[in-house]
Amino acid sequence: MSSEWYTASAPGKFVVLGEHSVVYGKPAVVLATDRRITCSVRRSKRNTINGDLVDLSRQPHFTYLTRDVGYNMDFLTTSEVPSGSGMGSSAALSAALALAIRSERGECPTEKMLVDEAYGAELYAQGNGSPMDASACVHGGGIAVNVPSEKKELWTISRGERTWRVTDVDVPDLSFVIGNTGIKAPTGPQVEKIRRYKMKNGFASEIIDEMGDVTLEGFDALKKKDKEKLGRLMTNDHKLLSILGVSCNELNKLVNASLPYSYGAKLTGSGGGGCMVALTDKPEKVAEVISSRGGIPYIIKSGSEGARMETSPAMGTPMEIPMGKGE
C-alpha cells in the first residue's frame, strides 16, 4: 500500500457584492484572498484527521468527498482562513480536499470537476446555496456570477430552476480590509433564514431584486475603478442585507467604524457574525479602527491563485473541521 502524501491548497475568498441574492440567481462578484487552506491525504489503515482517529460519517465534507474512495485515509488540514467567518473556509477546505483526494487516486481533475466536487460537498454539508464560493476557491483570482456582459465564461451550473454562469474577471487594483467580529456564524442557517423570510413576505423578494441591481451597478464601477461609486454601492448592499436580517450589532459596529476612512463597507459572506469588508485607500487606518472596536483586521491581498498541488505536506495551524450545516 502506497503511503505517499498528496497535498493541495485553495484560497479563501471574500464577496465584494451579491451574497445571499446569488442563491436566487442574482449576480455576484467575489475575489480570492491570500489566506489558504492546505490538505494532505494518504492511504492508511484507519481514518484520521490531524492525527485523531475519526468516524468520517460525522464529517460531512470528508464523507462526501471520499464517497467513492473505498479505503481509509490520513488527512492533515491546516488553515489561515478563520472558520465560520464568511471567508470561505468551507469551500476552500472542499476545493483543497477534492484536489488532494483526486490526485491520490491518480486523476488530474479539471477546474470544473473540482467545482462540481466542492459544490457537492458544500450542499451535502450545508443543505442549500449557490456554487459561488466553490467557484471562487477553485478558480482563484476574481469571478463574477450571472453578469451578462462578461464574456470569459468558466462554467455554468444549474440546480432546480436556478442557473449560475460563472466568468473570470480581472482582479482590480483596489485595497480591501476585512474585519472579523470573531463571532462564528455558519452559512446554512443564514441562507435558511432568508429562504423562510422570502416565502412569507413578498418584500424580501423585492430586496433581493434590488441587491441584484446594486451588484450589477457595483460591478460596472469596479471595472471602471470608480471607487466612490463602488464603495457607496457596497454600503447600500450592507443596508439591504441588514433589512433581510443577516447583519448583527457587531458587524454594524465594524462597518460604521470603517466608513469615515473608507469608500464603503459591508458584511461579507453569510453574515450573522463573521466578517465585514471595507474598500479603502487607508488600509492601516481601517485596520486600526477595526482593532479598536474589538474586531480582528486582515489587510487582504486579493486575487490569489486557485486550487493547486503543493510539494510538501500541510504544516501549520491545524484546521478546525466544520462538523455540518455551514462553514
Question: Residues 9, 11, 19, 85: which binds ligand MEV (CB under 6 A)?
Answer: 19
Report in angstroms how near the CB of residue 41 gets to ligand MEV at its nearest. 25
Q: Which is nearer to ligand MEV, 23 or 98 (CB)?
A: 23
Report in angstroms how near the CB of residue 209 gets to ligand MEV at its nearest. 16
Q: Which three cell numbers stand for residue 315?
A: 504544516
Q: Which three cell numbers stand for residue 155?
A: 462554467
Under rule CB under 6 A, residue 215 binds ligand MEV? no
Q: Which window, 13-21, 73-81, 257-265, 293-301, contacts ligand MEV (CB under 6 A)?
A: 13-21
Report in angstroms how near the CB of residue 123 gets to ligand MEV at its nearest. 9
Report in angstroms how near the CB of residue 178 gets to ligand MEV at its nearest. 13
Residues forming beta bridges with residue 176, ordered by sequence position: 279, 300
Which of the residues 112 through 131 are near ligand MEV (CB under 6 A)?
129-130
Conformational region of residue 152, where left means phi above 0, alpha means psi within -120 to 50, and beta covers everything else: beta
Which of the residues 258 through 287 are near ligand MEV (CB under 6 A)?
269-270
Q: How many Cβ atoms are within 10 Å of 183's Cβ, its own excluded? A: 15
Residues forming beta bridges with residue 32, ordered by sequence position: 13
Under rule CB under 6 A, residue 40 binds ligand MEV? no
Q: Which is nearer to ligand MEV, 56 or 132 (CB)?
A: 132
Question: How far are the Cα atoms of 88, 196, 298 from residue 77, in angstroms, in the given order?
Answer: 15, 35, 21
Q: Identify whether the C-beta of residue 239 lies closer than 8 Å to the C-beta of residue 214.
A: no
Tell me the pairing of strands 73-79 and 6-17.
Answer: unpaired
Under rule CB under 6 A, residue 132 binds ligand MEV? yes
Under rule CB under 6 A, residue 104 binds ligand MEV? no
Q: Which is nearer to ligand MEV, 271 or 283 (CB)?
A: 271
Q: Which is nearer to ligand MEV, 227 or 266 (CB)?
A: 266
Q: What's the angle, vertex CA 319, arms to CA 100 and CA 112, rounded to 5?
A: 35
Q: Which is nearer to ligand MEV, 18 or 313 (CB)?
A: 18
Question: Residues 191, 241, 257, 275: which binds ligand MEV (CB under 6 A)?
Answer: 191
- Separation between Cα atoms, residue 85 and residue 271, nearest integer Å: 8
200 phi, psi to nearest 5 deg: -85, -25
Report in angstroms how near the CB of residue 149 gets to ligand MEV at its nearest. 21
Under rule CB under 6 A, residue 136 binds ligand MEV? no
Under rule CB under 6 A, residue 86 binds ligand MEV? yes
Q: Which window, 15-23, 104-112, 152-160, 168-176, contacts ligand MEV (CB under 6 A)?
A: 15-23
What lies within 8 Å, CB to CB, of 49 at 6+ separation is 59, 62, 75, 76, 77, 321
Total residues at the site for ligand MEV (CB under 6 A)? Answer: 14
What lies within 8 Å, CB to CB, of 16 at 6+ separation is 29, 30, 31, 176, 218, 222, 230, 234, 268, 277
Residues forming beta bridges with residue 180, ordered by sequence position: 275, 296
Residues forming beta bridges with residue 276, ordered by sequence position: 179, 267
- Separation between Cα atoms, residue 261 and residue 60, nearest integer Å: 41
Question: Residues 22, 41, 208, 276: which binds ligand MEV (CB under 6 A)?
Answer: 22
Q: Which three cell numbers stand for residue 83?
A: 472558520
Question: Residues 133, 237, 250, 310: which binds ligand MEV (CB under 6 A)?
Answer: 133
Q: Which window, 12-20, 76-84, 96-104, 215-223, contacts ligand MEV (CB under 6 A)?
A: 12-20
CA-based torsion, 102, 87, 208, 261: positive or negative: negative
Under rule CB under 6 A, residue 95 binds ligand MEV? no
Site residues, ligand MEV (CB under 6 A): 15, 19-20, 22-23, 86, 129-130, 132-133, 187, 191, 269-270
